[in-house]
Amino acid sequence: MSKRVSVFRREHFNAAHRLFVPQWGDARNEEVFGKCSNPNYHGHNYELEIKVTGQADPVTGYVMDLKVLSEMVREHVLEIFDHKNLNLDTEYFKDLNPTAENIVVVIYEILREKIDAKFDLKIRLYETQRNFVEFPA
């Protein structure tokens, strides 16, 4: 059996953030982002869903060992984002507004470098149960 299968792994992290466009002043940020731009931050339980698509190995039956994927996410994503302030504690959002859209693209780019190029990769990120994003579209 050597068919293409998608495998998914869910992880989570808890972080503070503030929607903030650095080149704008506070007033314009509050006008556009409302309470999401609170200067003292708010936060979320982010749920992360990593989808890897490839051939299932004909002997093991694995596309990819999900324990290996989970460990990779822990090391390269959770270590950087979990229990952090996205705006202050990470390099990624010094000059980039930490919207869910921007966070999911950043996480994709981090993992795309680590996961073998023979696999397709897609990331879904839940900011709340009602608001979530996916990349690539």
Number of Cβ atoms within 10 Å of the Cβ of 34:
10
Site for a second copy in 57-96 (CB under 8 A): 59-63, 66-67, 82-85, 88-89, 96
Q: Residue 110 CB, nearest distance to a second copy (Å)?
A: 14
* Local structure of 59: helix, strand or coil: coil
Give the N- to C-terminal CA distance of the chain in Å, as an integer. 29
Considering beta carbons, is residue 21 or 72 the nearer one to a second copy?
A: 21
56 binds a second copy (CB under 8 A): yes
Per-residue binding string, a second copy, 89-108, x by CB under 8 A, is x------xxxxxxx-xx---
Amino acid, single-letter form, for residue 129: Q
Distance CA 98, CA 80 (A): 14
Q: Residue 35 CB, nearest distance to a second copy (Å)?
A: 4
Cβ-contact 46, 12 below 8 angstroms: yes
Q: Residue 114 CB, nearest distance to a second copy (Å)?
A: 19
Distance CA 114, CA 72 (A): 8
* Catalytic residue annotation: 36, 83, 127
Considering beta carbons, is residue 42 or 114 the nearer one to a second copy?
A: 42
Fill in the DSSP letter of residue 64: S
Cβ-contact 43, 88 below 8 angstroms: no
User: Residues interacting with a second copy, by CB under 8 A?
Assistant: 1, 3-12, 14-17, 19, 21, 23, 32, 34-36, 38, 40-45, 53-54, 56, 59-63, 66-67, 82-85, 88-89, 96-102, 104-105, 120, 128-137
